[in-house]
Amino acid sequence: MFVAPSILSADFGRLDEEIKAICNSGCDMVHVDVMDGHFVPNLTIGPVVVEAVAKATTKPLDIHLMVQNNSFFVDLFAPLKPKFLSFHIEEEKHPHRLIQKIRDYGICPAVTLNPHTPPESIEYLLGDIDMVLLMSVNPGFGGQKFIPSVLKKVRKLRQMIDINDAKVLIEVDGGVNGLNVRELDEAGVDVVVAGSYVFGSSDYKQAIDSLKV
């Protein structure tokens, strides 16, 4: 299991230190939540702060856009060269075009699904993307409770990926902890995002290790 701590739960007053601490504690990527106050009822960080994150990290960035007007935000964050850039399918009329735009920047495109969005909605995108991010909470805030029906969705998506022989990772984001990670692994998840579980722990290395099932 790959582990991507979400910096949403980090201490932003000591951001540089926090990023270095998770990188030195064995995380695989650094998950960055970009919220615009429109698509979700919360507002987070823009490229100025993410640039500081990019300077501090020794691990690839995984940028999760929770915004309206995806194309504008892709242009804003692409210069920071994240490994993955994901957008919400619920907010995109022309996903193929946006995926191509992300790919043209040399970034791996990923598509995110809200907890209620069926995996079939992206069946015809599976050949074009590198990762699917399944939300296991309603996007907007850290520290929410895991929605168990996402496990069924992971299994279905895993089948769809295998049938299509697609090279696509499955990432799950929201309410992930040391207790539910095993079930996620068994269902076919490749990457877990964890915010409050990692940053709320007194030992980041122990928390990250406990997710590496």
**Catalytic sites, residue numbers:** 33, 173
Query: CB under 8 Å to 38, separation ≥6 — which residues?
Result: 67, 68
33: contact with ligand DX5 by CB under 6 A? yes
Pick one of ligand DX5, Zn ion, none as the site partner of residue 109 (Cβ within 5 to 8 A by kind). Answer: none
102: contact with ligand DX5 by CB under 6 A? no
With CB atoms as reference, the residue minimizing the distance to ligand DX5 is: 195
Q: Rounded to the nearest whole angstrom, what is the least distance from the CB of residue 121 to ligand DX5 in the complex?
A: 19
Tokens of 72: 């504008």
Q: Which of 30, 91, 175, 189 touches ligand DX5 (CB under 6 A)?
A: 175
64: contact with Zn ion by CB under 5 A? yes
Cα separation, 42 vs 40, in Å, equals 6
**Residue-wise DSSP of 30-96:** EEEEEEBSSSSS-B---HHHHHHHHHH-SS-EEEEEE-SSHHHHHHHHGGG--SEEEEEGGG-S-HH
88: contact with Zn ion by CB under 5 A? no
Give the number of other Cβ atoms within 10 Å of residue 67's Cβ.
20
Tokens of 79: 């210069």
What track of x and - describes contact with Zn ion for positions 2 through 41 (by CB under 5 A)?
-------------------------------x--------
Q: Which of 44, 157, 173, 198 touches Zn ion (CB under 5 A)?
A: 173
Q: Rounded to the nearest whole angstrom, what is the least distance from the CB of residue 87 to Zn ion in the complex?
A: 12
Nearer to ligand DX5 (CB atom), residue 110 or residue 194:
194
173: contact with ligand DX5 by CB under 6 A? yes
Cα separation, 197 vs 15, in Å, equals 17
62: contact with Zn ion by CB under 5 A? no
176: contact with ligand DX5 by CB under 6 A? yes
User: 3-state DSSP call for residue 108?
Assistant: strand
How, if at all, do strands 131-135 and 169-173 pair? parallel
Q: Which of 31, 83, 88, 101 touches ligand DX5 (CB under 6 A)?
A: 31
193: contact with ligand DX5 by CB under 6 A? yes
Each residue of 81-90: b (16+ CB within 10 Å) or e?
ebbbbbbbbe
34: contact with ligand DX5 by CB under 6 A? no
